[in-house]
């Protein structure tokens, strides 16, 4: 659920959406983008279409605007697979037990540029960090529990 909220925030903040709806060639589009996919489930929102699929036993979410253009994909990412300098920054600034790692995802846009998002919690807040492909860490959002 939190992954969906993060992805939605990313989509709203980085994309402009068309207002006309066109049908997407679900299997063809997804197959050409990701290869062999299974368990395809489509959902529509006001500004985008989302396909949840399984690729090589991993859940992937694919986002399209209403014109059928690829916005990007999200998938879970292991924390230890982040850029090394990002790991160093996060583990020194956001230390356990004050901060608990909730999840880490990678958002890859339609131009194949990736941004990682790490969500963490404290006793009173939920925060999200954004990490570039080069390991630069920035504050993305913060909310109270």
Does 83 have pLDDT greater than 90? Answer: yes
The pLDDT confidence band at residue 29, using thresholds 50, 70 and 90, is low
What average pLDDT does range 78-92 have in this prediction? 96
Return mean pLDDT, the chain: 80
Give the pair of three-digit tokens for residue 9: 């925030």
pLDDT: which is higher, 36 or 59: 59
What's the pLDDT at 52? 86
Sheet containing 125-131, strands listed edge to edge, beginning at the edge strand earlier in sequence: 38-44, 48-55, 58-65, 70-76, 100-109, 114-121, 125-131, 137-144
Q: How far is CA 86 from the centre of its chain?
A: 17
Do 63 and 72 touch, CB atoms closer than 8 A?
A: yes
């Amino acid at each position: 659920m939190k992954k969906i909220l993060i992805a939605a925030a990313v989509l709203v903040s980085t994309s402009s959406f068309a207002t006309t709806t066109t049908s997407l060639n679900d299997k063809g589009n997804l197959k050409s983008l990701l290869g062999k996919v299974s368990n395809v489930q489509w959902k529509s929102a006001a500004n985008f279409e989302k396909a949840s699929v399984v690729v090589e036993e991993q859940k992937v979410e694919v986002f399209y605007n209403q014109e059928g253009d690829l916005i990007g994909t999200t998938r879970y990412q292991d924390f230890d697979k982040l850029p090394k300098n990002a790991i160093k920054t996060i583990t020194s600034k956001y230390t356990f037990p004050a901060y608990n790692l909730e999840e880490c995802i990678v958002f890859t846009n339609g131009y194949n540029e990736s941004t990682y998002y790490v969500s963490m919690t404290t006793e009173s807040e939920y925060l999200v960090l954004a990490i570039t492909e080069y390991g630069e860490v920035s504050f993305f959002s913060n909310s109270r529990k």
